[in-house]
Structure 1
Amino acid sequence: MIRLILIFLALTTVIGGFRIGTGKSDITGPVTQVMMMGYAELGQTGQGILQRLWARAFIIEDPKTKARIVFVNTDTQSMGDIIKKRVVEKLQERYGPIYTEGNVMISSTHSHSGMGGYLQYTLYEISVLGWIEETANPMVQGIMQSIINAHDNLVDGSLALSSGELLDSNINRSPQAYLLNPFEERALYKHDVDKNMTVLSFKNNQGHDLGLVSWFPVHGVSINNTNRLINGDNKGYAAYLVERHMNRNISPSFVAAFAQSNEGDVSPNTLGSFCTGTDIPCDGTRESKCPSGSKCNGRGPGWETSGIESNRIIGENQALKALELYTSESTQVDGTVDYVQRYWDITKAVVTNHDKQSKLCAAAMGYAFAAGTTDGPALHGFHQNTTHGNLGWDIIRNIVKRPSANQRRCQAPKPILLDTGEMTSLHAWQPEILDIQLFKLGNVFIYAVPSEFTTMSGRRLQMAIKTALIENYLGNEDTIVIHSGPANGYASYCTTFEEYQNQRYEGASTPYGPNTLQAYIQAFEELVFMMANPTNHSIVSEELPDYTKKSFNLTPIYRSDQSHLFRSFGDVLRDVSSDHFTKTSTPIVVSASFVAGNPRNDPMLNKTFLTVEKKIAKDQWKVVRTDDDYDTRFSWKYKHQLLGTSEATVEWHVAHDVEPGVYRLGYIGNSIAPFSNTDETFQRESVS
């Protein structure tokens, strides 16, 4: 009997192939008064929560070699290189050398509706008013906790890979630039954006569902730059839907990550771009200039209702496709686990094109960078497809920093607006040293890049990596190469050489010049060589600088809290109506307002600022909604800022399928008294 048991255990170990673990944790930082990261829209500060932001971690270990990799996906615009460094340092304090910069990859969903302040370079700090420890600390804490949760749940298990086409969920927002790529190359592909979704499935050896990671390229801009509520945009909503479905019906701790891919020129605004207030098509160029008072904006599938509705549609499309792929026939992933990582100085790169060697440029941003995209137009008077500057703006630019003659030649045909690489004030304006990384899972390879790659630049890099893997006997024609990013840092965009000539937003935001993609290709060919030749140490890895002590923070200082006159914290200021509500085809909005403390007192990691409770018996209530649910809204504002009095509003958008019953809204907050460094937690419910 014992022998039979041992044989069974041995067989299950062979079948599983890996040790795997999944984990999830909250990374939501300050939800009020801090600018959101992504649109660089001055004044777009948080005022509450639509949904919380999460880190989702996946650990994979080779049981034979003990080689281990960690993939983390975060509901953020990008990932700060210093955030990753701090996470690894804290993991090493806890676990020793198990986790390193080499085997931890942190990739982002690229949501534009999260709090800013976690990128340490001046250009990105200016867009959100600084480096904000108030944002960074919960992010580090949450990412680390997600990895701890995955570490504590390691089991024998298996991985499987599946892919399929997802339509009506993304379009190319810069097709003019894409068409500049060679016809022969474009002819290899059916669409001008990648429509394939790839899903990596995690199951234990008993076949129980543990989680999935989905990669699909689409910008996190379904919710536009007028939004003030923190959320994970379409990928955050997709993860919410899948986890809610799996946790209710199949697995109570299922973790679903919706990672980003080569989304640089890929928009969720699938109806195209039009001048606001009209049905005039536009593309953000001077040739399609909109009427006075109108801007060129992309329209999502639910634009007539709201950006939140467009977000729901694009997110649901991804969720349903991921579930379909997860449950469909898939390819088992078997083989060894390996990883390689390098801190690479991109500005030192020398590339060879047509037997001519060219050095990459110091960073600079072009005129069309200031124009923004059709997903989020920026400054008036700037346009995409701009290959010549103008005298007025050049004079202003030169006051800040006149580009050198060599820099202008190197960056051509980009007309330089911000010569970030040659600025010496404060600290580095954009990164020079980039964290690039490659994971191996049998015949599946995942690579991390800090830049937003356009569709064709991502395709070229994937193909180059696969070719290098074959040449170095690490892969074959069946090898799968997956693009993940922005990851491990942020370095703006990367276009192809041809697309760069057009100088749309993506080209203008490719900092290191027209040969940036070729430099990435060469750098990843070197990474493949490093993986194939682990004892060869000829390729240098640089030191990552830390500028956080030299940074600034212009976020408003928040003061102590005062309750309203003759009121206590948490008291109901405006209750829900006492009327009975009947079901309708459109959601009914019920809300209540409370005497509040500033949410910045405590980000409430893995908790909630609001509750919706259902009465299940006399004096017994059950929480059925939190501030992470898509049909709730938590918002906050000062009533009298000088006095420190504020109020919080809790909303529930009641859908037609909600069970009849008696419900109540609740608010949980923290207040800080004058002359005190400690906060006091309070909780109140509205009258049901």
Structure 2
Amino acid sequence: MMHFCSALILILVTTVCSYRIGAGKSDITGPVVQVMLMGYAEMGQTGQGILQRLWARSFIVQDGDNRIVFVNTDTQSMGDIIKKRVINTLETRYGALYTEKNVMISSTHSHSGMGGYLQYTLYEFAALGWIEETVKPMVDGIVQSIINAHDNLEFGSLALSQGELLKTNINRSPQAYLMNPKEERSFYKYDVDKTMTVLGFKNEAGDDLGLISWFAVHGVSVNNTNKLVNGDNKGYAAYLTEKMVNSGKYSHGKFVAAFSQSNEGDVSPNTLGAFCTGSDTPCDGTRDSKCPNGSRCVGRGPAWPKSDLQSNRIIGENQAFKALELYHARMSAQQVHGKIDFVQRYWDITKAIVTDQNGDQHKLCYPAMGYAFAAGTTDGPALNGFYQNTTKGTFGWNLIKNIIQKPTESQKTCQSPKPILLDTGEIGTLHPWQPEILDIQLFRIGNVFIYAVPSEFTTMSGRRLRASIKKSLIQHQLGDQDTVVIHSGPANGYASYCTTFEEYQHQRYEGASTPYGPHTLQAYIDAFDQLVFMMAHPNNHSIKSEKLPDYTKQGFNFSPRYRSDQPHIFRSFGEVIQDVSPYYSKRTQSTPFVVSATFVAGNPRNDPMLGKTFLTVEKKVNNQWIVIRTDNDYDTRFIWKYTYQLLGMSEAKVEWHISNDIEPGIYRLGYMGNSRAAFSKKIVPHSGYSSEFEISNMY
């Protein structure tokens, strides 16, 4: 059936509205306190509240009987079991409409979200366990975002735009990048990808529905001292974009903006470079540029030394403004139309056998992590005494690591030149330390192809895989020279890093964190060649898919237990402990000033408040209180702590960082929480408000 875009025809725009499209979002914020944040693996980086909420943003594209679902989450990665549970829940509602094959769940790679949703031992140690308290709201929120997109399905059009975004990312391992052949590097202007790709969604009336942006930059603008949950630079970009569009004059308030990750493995938002702390001495995290005792090699964002949160805002703004520019560039945009298709496979990477350029065959390794893995990166240094670019182990650490698991000779040969620190693939436990079966996937929307990988690909490894997939698509007559191939990940699971063979030899952090050995990239290239073949020959292939294992019942949870709540003596839950001042004058300088109030609180783990808020900022208008801020706004903070943990007494501070563009008026701060009584599982909501205060223009 042909569908006519009557509104667009009237203004002589030749867009074909051939799809049903829908966009939706939902809150996935889990326990914001007492659970380690996922990404830096920094012991003690335990949640203490909220800077911004975390979201799942879903997009559905349907053409006849075929449809695909792309989901982007404000998380470090996506758990394979999370996806499995999402699919199981969807099946109870929609039957076989949504499956593991046509649902792709990607991530922003923020390092400031709750941990506990990856089922393998190494990643459980990074967050102190498999934490159902994190998992349930994440699954519920992802499912709800897909339901919202499903319920919003309407006829519309898609447009693809690409453009160069500068001053937003740098290569944090340029020495490893230079290991790649000079002839190959000469094809590219930069040592990171500067291209942003935007897929725009509009309905047949021309209303703006949403966009998906892909751009390579790590989610580490907010550093490893942070303890407030947030979506880092891509989370802020999405927040800002939706705020700008949905408050616009012609907006219908449903615009959803997803800022997805691409091949960011060696890509940093700390654009000023890395320096030894307390000095202006450049460094690169190696022993050759060793910082003095007490100093660490740390990357600096664009707002250094002012604030990492301001750096986060700048990197997020850059992406938001560029994405909107590309979204509205309709004249240069490529209209997307054509077939919808999808293929997916559970693939055992350790069984892969690849052939190198000399014709020699190599079997992929069982997973292992190298010495430079323990060094961390210039975005987040880890253990003292370890350095990047480490190709030889030390006597002392070899003794220690052999107690945990001594690598076999075949494993050492397979992983060479990586000196193995953690032989994760040969530890004989029922609960594997790292995955062997990976969820890989390929979507088609006309001449646009989106592929999902669970690993963090470096710049050049992503470039090679994209080029290989495009070549394969052309060979199988699924694509042409104008085909656009998009890298999305970490998606559908997490499997650490993937470098090129040449970068692997250098053994910086990224190479040391490539678990399956130096030929990992070639194995991915071969696997996606098979996916393309499956798409080209849907009923005529013998390529099998493995079964995804579920180890969650063998998992552990070392996150702290929490007890019932008690109010402070002679006080009630929600009562103000420390109030605001009655009057504030706006300052002439650009630095925001802070208004705060502290309340008697219950533990926020009692209820993550999905779709709600722990705080409000309210303005009095015509003698009524109007909410103007929640805990999802970037200028508010919700900070919680125990005052007497043994007694279950705690307090919550609500902060509002006020900039000069705030209108004068009468305001108040609000707190919302929940408490659990002793010897009871019953959760009781409570709330409280500060005194009202005035903000004046007088200086």
Q: Could you tell me the TM-score, scaled by structure 1's length?
A: 0.98
Q: Does 1:207 align with 2:203?
A: no
Equivalent residue in structure 2 for 1:576, among 568, 571, 580: 580
Q: CA RMSD in A?
A: 1.5
1:419 match:
423
Q: Does 1:467 align with 2:496?
A: no
- Partner Cα separation in structure 2 for residue 205 and residue 48 of structure 1: 42
1:679 match:
683
2:124 match:
125
Task: Give the C-alpha shift of residue 158 in structure 1.
Answer: 0.2
Amino acid of the structure 2 residue aligned with 1:609: F
**Aligned 1:119-518 pairs, distance under 5 A:** 119-249=118-248, 250-251=250-251, 252-328=253-329, 329=331, 330-353=333-356, 354-518=358-522
Amino acid of the structure 2 residue aligned with 1:285: T
Amino acid of the structure 2 residue aligned with 1:616: V
Task: Give the C-alpha shift of residue 9 in structure 1.
Answer: 10
Q: Any stretches of 5+ residues in structure 2 without a counterpart?
A: 693-699
Aligned length: 682
Q: Does 1:72 align with 2:76?
A: no
- Partner Cα separation in structure 1 for residue 591 and residue 131 of structure 2: 40
Maintained 8 Å contact 1:300/1:307:
yes
Q: Does 1:644 align with 2:648?
A: yes
Q: Does 1:103 align with 2:97?
A: no
- Partner Cα separation in structure 1 for residue 278 and residue 114 of structure 2: 29
Task: Give the C-alpha shift of residue 45 in structure 1.
Answer: 0.4
1:42 match:
43
- Partner Cα separation in structure 2 for residue 9 and residue 588 of structure 1: 48
**Aligned 1:626-645 pairs, distance under 5 A:** 626-645=630-649
- Partner Cα separation in structure 1 for residue 42 and residue 76 of structure 2: 14
Task: Give the C-alpha shift of residue 683 in structure 1.
Answer: 1.3
Change (3 A) 1:404 1:593: same
- Partner Cα separation in structure 1 for residue 602 and residue 72 of structure 2: 31
- Partner Cα separation in structure 2 for residue 438 and residue 230 of structure 1: 31
Amino acid of the structure 2 residue aligned with 1:576: V
- Partner Cα separation in structure 1 for residue 515 and residue 274 of structure 2: 26
Amino acid of the structure 1 residue aligned with 2:617: V
- Partner Cα separation in structure 2 for residue 537 and residue 362 of structure 1: 27
- Partner Cα separation in structure 2 for residue 369 and residue 357 of structure 1: 27
Task: Give the C-alpha shift of residue 23 in structure 1.
Answer: 0.1
Task: Give the C-alpha shift of residue 8 in structure 1.
Answer: 5.8
Change (3 A) 1:625 1:10: closer
- Partner Cα separation in structure 2 for residue 14 and residue 163 of structure 1: 18
- Partner Cα separation in structure 2 for residue 14 and residue 381 of structure 1: 59
Secondary structure of 1:323's aligned partner: helix
Change (3 A) 1:10 1:684: closer
1:586 match:
591
Q: Which runs of 4+ in 1 moved over 6 A?
A: 9-14
Amino acid of the structure 2 residue aligned with 1:350: I
Change (3 A) 1:292 1:6: closer
Equivalent residue in structure 2 for 1:655, among 648, 652, 659: 659
Secondary structure of 2:655's aligned partner: strand
Deviations, residues 588-645 of structure 1 (Å, cap 9, x unaligned): 1000000000000000001000000000022x10000000000000000000000000
- Partner Cα separation in structure 1 for residue 241 and residue 6 of structure 2: 33
Task: Give the C-alpha shift of residue 586 in structure 1.
Answer: 1.8
Deviations, residues 281-330 of structure 1 (Å, cap 9, x unaligned): 00000000000100000000012111101100000000010011111131
- Partner Cα separation in structure 2 for residue 221 and residue 8 of structure 1: 45
Change (3 A) 1:581 1:403: same
Maintained 8 Å contact 2:498/2:514:
yes
Task: Give the C-alpha shift of residue 15 in structure 1.
Answer: 2.2
Amino acid of the structure 2 residue aligned with 1:465: I
Task: Give the C-alpha shift of residue 583 in structure 1.
Answer: 3.9
- Partner Cα separation in structure 2 for residue 590 and residue 71 of structure 1: 40
1:614 match:
619
Secondary structure of 1:382's aligned partner: coil
Amino acid of the structure 1 residue aligned with 2:336: V
- Partner Cα separation in structure 2 for residue 154 and residue 447 of structure 1: 23
Maintained 8 Å contact 2:7/2:205:
no
Amino acid of the structure 1 residue aligned with 2:378: T
Task: Give the C-alpha shift of residue 581 in structure 1.
Answer: 2.2
Deviations, residues 400-437 of structure 1 (Å, cap 9, x unaligned): 00000000000000000000000122511000000000
Deviations, residues 514-573 of structure 1 (Å, cap 9, x unaligned): 000000000000000000000024101000000001100000000000000000000000
Amino acid of the structure 2 residue aligned with 1:338: D
Deviations, residues 206-237 of structure 1 (Å, cap 9, x unaligned): 10000000000000000000000000000000
Maintained 8 Å contact 2:15/2:335:
no
- Partner Cα separation in structure 1 for residue 603 and residue 255 of structure 2: 33
- Partner Cα separation in structure 1 for residue 377 and residue 429 of structure 2: 28
Maintained 8 Å contact 1:73/1:109:
yes
Deviations, residues 340-397 of structure 1 (Å, cap 9, x unaligned): 0000000000000021010000000000000000000000000000000011000000
Secondary structure of 2:96's aligned partner: coil
Maintained 8 Å contact 1:122/1:426:
no
Maintained 8 Å contact 1:55/1:142:
yes
1:624 match:
628
- Partner Cα separation in structure 2 for residue 61 and residue 447 of structure 1: 18
Maintained 8 Å contact 1:50/1:629:
yes
- Partner Cα separation in structure 2 for residue 14 and residue 365 of structure 1: 50
Task: Give me the identity figure in percent.
Answer: 72
Task: Give the C-alpha shift of residue 7 in structure 1.
Answer: 10
Secondary structure of 1:421's aligned partner: coil
Amino acid of the structure 1 residue aligned with 2:175: Q
Secondary structure of 1:362's aligned partner: coil
- Partner Cα separation in structure 2 for residue 601 and residue 535 of structure 1: 50
Q: Any stretches of 5+ residues in structure 1 without a counterpart?
A: none
- Partner Cα separation in structure 2 for residue 657 and residue 104 of structure 1: 42
Amino acid of the structure 1 residue aligned with 2:260: A
Maintained 8 Å contact 1:215/1:484:
yes
Maintained 8 Å contact 1:437/1:449:
yes
Secondary structure of 1:369's aligned partner: helix
- Partner Cα separation in structure 2 for residue 11 and residue 571 of structure 1: 59
Q: Which moved more, 1:7-16 or 1:370-379?
A: 7-16
Equivalent residue in structure 1 for 2:603, among 588, 595, 598: 598
Deviations, residues 194-216 of structure 1 (Å, cap 9, x unaligned): 00000000000010000000000
Amino acid of the structure 2 residue aligned with 1:181: N
1:51 match:
52
Maintained 8 Å contact 2:5/2:17:
no
